Amino acid sequence: MASHRKPRTRTAGPRTAPVAGITTAALTSIALLSQTATAAPSAPPKPSLEEVQKKVDTLYHQAGVATEKYNAAKERTTKQQKRVGELLDDVAQRTEKLNKARQELGTFAAAQYRTGAVSDTATLLLADDAQDYFDQDQLMSRLTSRQKKAVDDYQTEQAATTKKRTEAAKSLETLTTSQATLKSTKRDVQQKLGDARELLSKLTAEEKARLAAIEKKKQEAARKKAEELARQQAEAEAKRKAAEEARQKENPGTGTGSGTGTGSGSTSSGYATKAAKVIDFAESQMGKPYVWGATGPDSYDCSGLTQAAWKAAGITLPRTTWDQVKVGTTVTTADAKPGDLVFFYDDISHVGIYIGDGKMIHAPKPGANVRVESIYYMPIHSVVRPA
């Protein structure tokens, strides 16, 4: 028999346990994410000493490039200032002549007025276009020869003065541009040098000592290369002398060769004389500080030193390395002679004076003094014989 009891209906109640578990997990994830987001970023790894040295060397090199740009801009600015001054003086003189010519024309106009004649000269002075007015035959026929000359002089001076004023205005614009470039390159040099000083200031005493050791090792490697070049040059010179002696024995009447018709001996002797003066000057500057943009007498940059040294020998060199490298004859490193200029880097941003045995005298960089160094301390670009 079927039961009369109604089946119990189950009411779906909240499933608290699983929900609580999900909520806890979500809160935990949010908390972890929040901690990750607000955590302080980790400090960048400290650069190695080698990386610091490379960065400092790069900054000094860039400062050297900027220094040569500054030197070029300064040279242009100086020339343009002189040119603008000359043009303004010329304009002033021409304006004075123009005023005199105008006064003479005014005298003629006043004379015509006093005699009651038609004042053609006065009309001329008031005309918008003097040339069109002169094209009128009736005016030209009424001018005396003196008046005609005065009018011609006035026209000539007016045209010349206008031309010079235009030229002066353009020169002033160019000068303004050069001065802006000068200021910009100066800031660039100062920025590069400031960055280099900041990097070095962060080094500990131990790191500075290690950096000095790295520098000494670099100089030692360059010194060995210089010694090898000196050995090769000595061997080449010995072979040359032996060949010359053998030639003299075979042809005793030919002499030493210095008096031959080629003139090569006298040319070599003349260059050696100049080179000796160059090196004497450079040696006398040793110990003076490198200062970018300086040309002496108390401090120098690299091209300032080479320019001053060759000036002591009576030879005028341009101001920048980029111009100095174009003056003279390019020779191989193996054929370098004392007095030659040795240029460095692909961008030709440094120069020194070769003194023999693979060495040079140069103004190295900020913080250093004029000194002797191996030419292999930096990558060589070329060697040039200026005179």
Determine whether 381 is an active site residue: no
4 is catalytic: no
Residue 354 is encoded by which pair of tokens?
Answer: 């070769």
C-alpha distances in Å from residue 382, one per residue of 32, 126, 316, 344:
63, 67, 20, 7
Which is the catalytic residue, given 4, 61, 362, 381? Answer: 362
The total of other beta-carbon atoms located within 10 Å of residue 236's CB is 12
Residue 83, token pair as written in the block: 């040119």
Question: How many whole angstroms separate alpha carbon 204 and alpha carbon 199?
Answer: 11
- Work out whether strand 371-374 and strand 380-385 pair parallel, antiparallel, or are unpaired: unpaired
Catalytic residue among 4, 61, 350, 381: 350
* Exposure letters 196-221 (e unless 16+ CB within 10 A, then b): beebbeebeeeeeebbeeeeeeeeee
Other Cβ atoms less than 10 A from the Cβ of 290: the count is: 23
> Is 71 within 8 Å of 349 (Cβ atoms)?
no
Asked whether 374 and 226 are in contact (CB, 8 A), the reply is: yes
Could you tell me if 341 and 383 are in contact, meaning their C-beta atoms sit under 8 angstroms apart? yes
Q: Is 362 a catalytic residue?
A: yes
Token duo for residue 356 = 């023999």
The closest of 341, 282, 333, 342 to 308, measured between CA atoms, is: 282
**Cα–Cα distance for residue pair 350/371, rounded to 1 Å:** 14
Chain centroid, CA 270 distance in Å:
32
Using only C-alpha atoms, the chain has a radius of gyration, in whole angstroms, of: 41
Point out the catalytic residue in the list 4, 61, 302, 381: 302
User: Which tokens belong to 100?
Assistant: 């005199």
Catalytic residues: 302, 350, 362
